[in-house]
Amino acid sequence: MGIHVPTHKNRQQASGKSHAGNTPFFQPALSPTTNGILQRNLQHRPDPSFRSIPQGVITRAEFDQYMMDYFGVRDIHTGTQAQQEASLTRHGRPAPTIPHWQSWDPGTASADYAHIIRAIEDVAETFGAIPTIHTVAFFKMDYDPNAAGIGIARRDVGASFGGGKLTIFEAFSRSHAFPNARSDTGGSYPSAAVVLAPAPGETPGAPVPYQSREHSLRENIAHELGHGIAEDAHRADPDVFDKFNRAIGWVGGQLFDIGQQAVADAISNGTPPPSQYRIPHDDWNNPQWIEQPMSRYAVAGGPGEDFAETIAAYVYSPAVLLQRSPERYRFITAHIGTWATQMRVLPPPVLRGDFPVNDEIRHMA
């Protein structure tokens, strides 16, 4: 579910390509040999309409090819120690050193490559477009430089996004889940197969069910793509974060329950909202809130993390997002069309399995 921005422009471009009749219709997008021939013969990227979304174990070479062909990524690399140390350099200081640094990526072949692609495809399916991603880099873990210029490990960080660069760390499949319902005072919720011991702030409120590693991984990637969408949104509308903060109830880095009329009034009048409606991160799931955040991190991390969590929820838990956070849901729905002007339009593939879906597509080919 979700909204789809118009893709007519893209379709016209697709149908106007000169290779009609030149290429085999049944183009296995992931065959390195075929892709090589395609690129040598045609001197341009394969048509995304005919991409075949990979499943299961794929090779790193197949991953790289797909990311470049269909997502516009220009640089995919396994990071080096020198690169990571340089990335920690703060203005006017020597590059920090990282003791016992280790290289990491998912390997020469892994199902995780297909899961990463699938997360990006899920964002494309929801919005009709994906954020601008120039670079994908793999590192073992994130670091912060300390005052002595030594990189200190941040093992809880699974991925990050900044300036069009998606960085993926070994912990990127760490557990991630949204509540399965709106929190309500009656406390009756859809049953969850497995619910882990509630984290602080989770109770009272709707349960946060255990999710598979694969699903957590995809939500984590979608969260990072949310930061990417934020970058594109800011290019499309420099006031987007101010609008988000006002629409959702962020004032001075604190979250207030925008569902309360007194909070909405205070924000429009430029006066401090009533303090009893401030939502603390350790009470984020409480049924007393009218506009309910989707996670503790959405509150503790500030508006930027709230935005990224909202995008991930819009992709993977849209019905729950609408029930818990109608203002967040509305904000995305109302603005995605504007943001998409700075995103990469990516239409759904026209093939289902190995066969064309209808005559119109047969004609296009």
Residue numbers at the binding site for Zn ion (CB under 5 A)? 305, 308
Q: Which is nearer to Zn ion, 184 or 305 (CB)?
A: 305
Query: What is the pairing mode between strands 129-130 and 344-345?
Result: antiparallel
CB atoms under 10 Å from CB of 53, counted, come to 19
Q: Is there a contact between 58 and 30 (Cβ–Cβ < 8 Å)?
A: yes
Q: Which CB atom, from 101 or from 250, has the smaller least distance to Zn ion?
A: 250
CB 282 within 8 Å of CB 200: yes
As a whole number of angstroms, the distance between CA 297 and CA 51 comes to 35
CB of 129 or CB of 312, closer to Zn ion: 312
The DSSP symbol for 168 reads E
CB of 303 vs Zn ion, minimal distance in Å: 11
**For residue 66, what are the β-bridge partners?**
none
Q: Which is nearer to Zn ion, 53 or 133 (CB)?
A: 133
Structure tokens of 98? Answer: 């990282």
Q: Which is nearer to Zn ion, 112 or 309 (CB)?
A: 309
- Say how far apart CA 41 and CA 60 lie, in whole Å: 24
Least distance between Zn ion and beta carbon 234 (Å)? 15
Phi, psi for 267 (deg, rounded to 5): -65, -40
Neighbours of 247 (CB within 10 A): 18
Closest chain position to Zn ion (CB): 308
Q: Omega before 54 cis (within 30°)?
A: no
Identity at 294, one-letter amino acid code: M
CB of 223 to Zn ion, least distance (A): 6
Least distance between Zn ion and beta carbon 308 (Å): 4
- The tokens for 212 are 């598979």
User: Which of these, 106, 113, 112, lies nearest to 138 by C-alpha position?
Assistant: 106
Give the number of other Cβ atoms within 10 Å of residue 125's Cβ: 19
The token duo for 336 is 């995605």
Could you tell me the two tokens for 29? Answer: 């997008």
- Least Å distance between CB 301 and Zn ion? 6
Cβ closer to Zn ion: 10 or 317? 317
CB 182 → Zn ion: shortest distance, Å?
A: 24
Q: Which is closer to Zn ion, CB of 308 or CB of 313?
A: 308
Least separation in angstroms between residue 338's CB and Zn ion is: 22
- 111/157 with CB nearer Zn ion: 157
Our CB check for Zn ion shows the closer of 62 and 219 to be 219
Minimum Å gap between C-beta 118 and Zn ion is: 20
**Within 10 Å of residue 66's Cβ, how many Cβ atoms?**
26
DSSP assignment string, 307-342 = HHHHHHHHHH-HHHHHHH-HHHHHHHHHHHHHHGGG
Give least dist CB 42 to Zn ion, A: 38
